[in-house]
Amino acid sequence: MTSETITYNNKKVIKKTNSNGEVSYILRGLYLGIDEKTGKQVTTSITAKTLRQLDRKILTARVNFEKAGGTRKEDKQLSTFSELAEEWFNNYQVWVTSHNTINRVKGYVYNYIIPAFGDYIPEKITSADIQRWVNNLAQKARTSIESGKKRAEKGSAKDFGAVTHKLSDIFDFGITHFGLTKNPVKTIKIPPKPKLASRRTMVLHDEELKTWLAFLKTLPNNRANRRFITICNSLLASALRINELLALEINDLDFTNNEIIVNKTLMWKSANKKLGTKGCMICKPTGKTDSGNRQVPVPNSTLTDLRDFYTEMNNYFKKQGLPQSKLIFPTIYGNYMCDRNERATLKKRLTSLGLPDYGFHIFRHTHASMMLNAGANWKELQVRMGHKSINTTMDTYAELAPKKKLEAVDIYLDKIAELST
């Protein structure tokens, strides 16, 4: 092979001839422009079999550089809406710190949005496609609610409006980062959210509570039942949420003031198949200004029961040669405990006794009912329950004071009698 440098259109071009007599021309260092993303000069090399072909390739290289927005940095290309939605969700997990919010939005993306539009080309999705989809979601939600089921089936939840707003966020993300030209969600109408039939807040009334407490005394005396009894009695005495109770450590028990210090809660962190991580319980500290951060007065016997179970578990760990745990309700491996198994046990036992099945929250509601009937005011109850707004407390528990309804009639009659004399 021979090589020589020639001048062509005022540029130095290398002409190569191989042993078969075939000729090729190479132009090195062709200037294309300044990269708009890096600010650096961009050059390239062109190889052609003829000088005329070399001219065409030079022109094509410059046109392609301009079409690429004046940069050689390749943008990630997305071929399906599924890829766009997953890219958005990967970014969303960085923007948001609440695992509960991430878990909820993950459900929106993977249970609703991707199944509906995942195979579509993003630019081909129309407002009509989305309107039909959201109308169908609204109908499913309405049917689910009218059926009276406690929990909607997958794909039939009533928060389809929130799902649709997240779909809109995904399109906006595509416009900003991937060159989409429109957001078809902007022009659709979201149907009204179906209203739930008002339900009485489930509590254990006096006779039901008497039945439940008597039942607990009949359970065999083993560690599983001691844990179950301690959980139920502690929730009834404190009105804590179940994951607030399961997050407690021994230092959260204040025997001086007979209080439980609530400053954290447990939540489920979903698995991530792409990262190879499994789902697990994690502990989330409560912000110092958060209404959930509180000190809850309880009977001394409640604190003692919690301490006794803490001691029992650490005696077990010591016997097994395992590290000690600060948690009051650790697993046998010393990890945070998920309430799933205890919740199933509670449901089975409440149902067997013919009592309302409302999960561990029934003890929280029962506590609130007892407080109201004992004369506690709404502000006291709000603080004790850890509600951010007193409206939440009143909306939830307004009907739990049946004795107060009768008192209203007595007050009216007494006033009329006073004015009539």
Q: What are the DSSP calls for 164-222, one per residue?
A: HHHHHHHHHHHHHHH-----GGGG--PPPPPPPPP-PPP---HHHHHHHHHHHTTS--S
> Is residue 225, in this structure, part of any structural domain at all?
yes
Nearest to 36 by CA among 5, 67, 8, 59: 67
Do both 169 and 312 map to the same domain?
no
Q: Is the pLDDT of residue 78 over 70?
A: yes
Q: What is the CATH number of the domain that holds 158?
A: 1.10.150.130
One domain, residues 169 and 232: no
Measured between alpha carbons, how far is 73 from 69 in angstroms, rounded to an integer? Answer: 10
Contact 223, 245 (CB under 8 A): no
d(CA 360, CA 113): 32
Rounded to the nearest integer, the mean pLDDT of the chain is: 84
- Mark whether 258 and 325 lie in a shared domain: yes
Is residue 382 a contact partner of residue 393, using CB atoms and an 8 Å limit?
A: yes
Q: Please tell me whether residues 366 and 291 are part of one structural domain.
A: yes
d(CA 171, CA 173): 5
Q: How far apart are CA 164 and CA 85, in angstroms?
A: 13
Q: Tell me, yes or no, whether 174 lies in a domain.
A: yes
pLDDT score for 397: 66
Q: Is the pLDDT at 405 greater than 50, yes or no?
A: no
The pLDDT of residue 152: 52
Tally the domains of the chain: 3
Given a cut of 60, whether residue 407 has pLDDT beyond it is: no
Amino acid identity, position 282: I
Domain with 62, as residue range(s), is 2-67
CB 349 within 8 A of CB 215: yes
**Same domain assignment for residues 247 and 358:** yes
Q: Same domain, yes or no, for 175 and 29?
A: no
Confidence check: pLDDT of 27 > 80: yes
CA distance 204 to 211: 9
Residue 134 lies in a domain: yes
Torsion, Cα 160 163 167 170, to 10 degrees, reads: 170
Length of the chain: 421
304 shares a domain with 183: no
Residue 356 scores a pLDDT above 60: yes
User: Looking up tokens 């599983």, which residue turns up?
Assistant: 224
Which residue type, as a one-letter code, is found at position 31? Y
Is residue 409 a part of any domain in this protein?
A: no
State whether 48 and 102 are in the same domain.
no
- Does the pTM exceed 0.75? no
Mean pLDDT, residues 395-415: 56
**264 and 217 in one domain?**
yes
85 and 57 fall within a common domain: no
Q: Are residues 160 and 144 in contact, defined by beta-carbon separation less than 8 angstroms?
A: no
Average pLDDT of the residues in 268-294: 74
Distances (CA, A) of 163 to 113, 114, 230, 313, 370: 8, 11, 39, 43, 39
Alpha-carbon distance of 371 to 358, in angstroms, equals 19
Q: Taking residues 186-195, report their average pLDDT.
A: 88
Helix (H, G, I), strand (E, B) or coil at 254: strand
